[in-house]
Structures are given as structure tokens and as C-alpha cells.
């Protein structure tokens, strides 16, 4: 009776911490296995986030997407899961779905300049000059040195053409960091740059 009483006093946070501690030092599918086991016991934000991220790390993008979507049904306002989902969609080559996810993030967080810039880069990468120009006009108001905005506006303005950086082949993969670089604790958008997530 005492054992049952004590076990019922364990909080969801304590359960999550137990699995997070167990997964410390593990990556990819090994870590995902631990987090998935933890989620069977508790709906923990940290466990869901770590599970989705571990799937990303392992290149299991479909599993990362479905984990993020499941988490969003429990935590509908958690932009971090939307970031993870968008990253997985981009890496899987689902370009239109990636675009829609970026737009969804902007609907929830209209002041998110980093996501707006990523959407602009997306438009430039796929050759949507008109959409890029329209978005660049918004961006240039608050960030007059944004290189992508200047490039996008150069197509229709001699002024911007004269100050825009020279066009070079766009290859975002060459500027991305490896998974081994830890992000700042409060920089969840770092996942788009390949930042390695600390255990939450």
C-alpha cells in the first residue's frame, strides 16, 4: 500500500527527468527509443521535443514530423514543434509543405523576423521572384541591410540593383552548421542551421 501511494506521488516532471537523464549522451535512434518509452508514461513537453529532435538527428524525418504534429495537438501554441516540423519538411524535400509551415509560424508569430527571412530565402531558392520581392519590401523596412531582401528588390529597382550584393549561386547547405555545435538555450530556431540541441 505504501509503495503504491509513493509511486502515485511521482510527478510528470520527475518521470520526464528520469528519461532525459537516461538518454544523456545518446543521440539519434538510441535516444529516441528512451524518449518514446518516457512518452508512454507522461505527456511531457521536453520528452516530445527531445524525441522529435532525435528523429531529426537520425534522418528519420517522417517520424520527426509525426512526433511534432502529435505534440502540437497537446501543446498547440508551442512554436518549437513547428520549427522542428518545418526543418524536417525542408530536409525531406517537401518544399511546398515547408513553405506552408513557415507561413503557419508567421500566422502565430507575426513578428518573427527570422522565419520571415527564411521564407524569403525559400522564395529566392525556388525562383519565385514576385513573391520574394513582395516579402522583401516588408523586410527592408526594418532590416535595410538584409542581403536577400536587397537581391530580391534589385530585379525591379535600379536603386536596389546598385546596392545589392552580387548574385552568387545560392547553396544554403554550405553555410549550415554541423549537428555538433550546441545552440544557445533560448535559440530554438537554431535547428534550421543544424545546431545540436541540449537535453531539455
pLDDT for 159: 77
Kindly report, residue by residue over 56-90, the tens digit of the pLDDT: 989 999 999 999 999 999 999 899 999 999 999 99
pLDDT for 121: 92
**If you write DSSP's letter for every residue of the chain in order, what string do you get?**
-HHHHHHHT--HHHHHHHHHHHHTT--HHHHHHHHHHHHTT---HHHHHHHHHHHHHHT-HHHHHHHHHHHHHHSTT-HHHHHHHHHHHHHTT-HHHHHHHHHHHHHH-TT-HHHHHHHHHHHHHHT-HHHHHHHHHHHHHH-TT-HHHHHHHHTT-HHHHHHSPPP----GGGTPPPTTSPPPTT-GGGGGGTPPPPP-
pLDDT for 166: 72
pLDDT in tens, the chain (200 residues): 444 444 455 677 888 888 787 877 777 888 889 888 888 888 888 899 989 999 998 999 999 999 999 999 999 989 999 999 999 999 999 999 999 999 999 999 998 989 999 999 999 999 999 998 999 999 988 888 888 888 889 888 887 777 777 765 455 444 444 444 444 444 455 656 555 555 55
pLDDT for 98: 94
Amino acid at each position: 500500500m505504501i509503495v503504491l501511494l509513493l509511486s502515485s506521488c511521482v510527478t510528470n516532471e520527475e518521470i520526464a527527468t528520469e528519461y532525459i537523464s537516461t538518454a544523456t549522451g545518446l543521440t539519434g535512434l538510441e535516444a529516441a527509443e528512451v524518449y518514446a518509452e518516457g512518452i508512454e508514461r507522461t505527456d511531457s513537453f521536453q520528452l516530445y521535443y527531445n524525441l522529435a529532435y532525435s528523429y531529426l538527428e537520425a534522418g528519420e524525418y517522417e517520424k520527426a514530423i509525426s512526433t511534432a504534429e502529435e505534440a502540437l495537438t497537446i501543446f498547440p501554441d508551442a512554436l518549437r514543434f513547428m520549427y522542428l516540423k518545418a526543418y524536417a519538411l525542408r530536409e525531406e524535400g517537401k518544399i511546398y509543405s515547408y513553405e506552408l509551415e513557415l507561413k503557419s509560424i508567421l500566422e502565430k508569430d507575426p513578428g518573427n523576423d527570422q522565419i520571415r527571412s527564411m521564407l524569403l530565402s525559400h522564395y529566392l531558392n525556388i525562383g519565385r521572384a514576385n513573391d520574394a520581392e513582395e516579402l522583401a519590401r516588408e523586410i527592408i523596412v526594418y532590416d535595410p541591410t538584409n542581403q536577400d531582401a536587397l537581391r530580391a528588390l534589385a530585379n525591379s529597382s535600379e536603386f536596389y540593383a546598385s546596392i545589392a550584393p552580387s548574385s552568387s549561386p545560392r547553396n544554403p547547405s554550405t553555410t549550415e552548421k554541423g549537428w555538433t555545435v550546441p545552440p544557445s538555450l533560448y535559440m530554438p530556431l537554431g535547428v534550421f542551421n543544424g545546431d545540436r540541441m541540449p537535453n531539455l
